[in-house]
């Protein structure tokens, strides 16, 4: 699969919390919401999608 990745969003970590590194495959409604919530909780999240236009749009903000 020739996937594309967007830039990682800034992390917010709670004091003393050690998060996991999580990959989300698919940046639709569920994937992006899940990734944003996990990142907010302090995890390192990488989202990937096979649609280059979607990744470019997310990278631009």
Helix/strand/coil for 53: helix
Within a domain: residue 45? yes
What is the pLDDT at residue 22? 96
Task: Name the token pair of 44.
Answer: 């390192």
Total number of domains constituting the chain: 1
pLDDT of residue 61: 82
Residue 1 resides in a domain: no
Q: Per the domain annotation, does 32 fall within a domain? A: yes
If one compares 46 and 11, the residue with the highest pLDDT of the two is 46
44-49 and 21-25 beta bridge pairing: parallel
pLDDT class for 3, splitting at 50, 70, 90? low
Question: Exposed, middle or buried by CB within 10 Å (0-12, 13-18, 19+), for 19?
Answer: middle
Whether residue 8 lies inside any domain: the answer is no
Average pLDDT, the chain: 83
The whole model's pTM is what?
A: 0.64
Phi-psi region of 33 (alpha: psi -120 to 50; beta: other; left: phi over 0): alpha
The residue segments making up the domain with residue 52 are: 20-60
pLDDT above 90 covers a percentage of the chain that reads 57
């Amino acid at each position: 699969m020739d996937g594309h990745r967007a830039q990682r969003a800034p992390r917010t970590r709670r004091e003393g919390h050690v998060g996991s590194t999580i990959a989300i495959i698919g940046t639709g409604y569920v994937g992006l919401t899940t990734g944003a919530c996990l990142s907010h909780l302090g995890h390192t999240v990488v989202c990937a999608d096979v649609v280059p236009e979607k990744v470019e749009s997310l990278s631009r903000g």
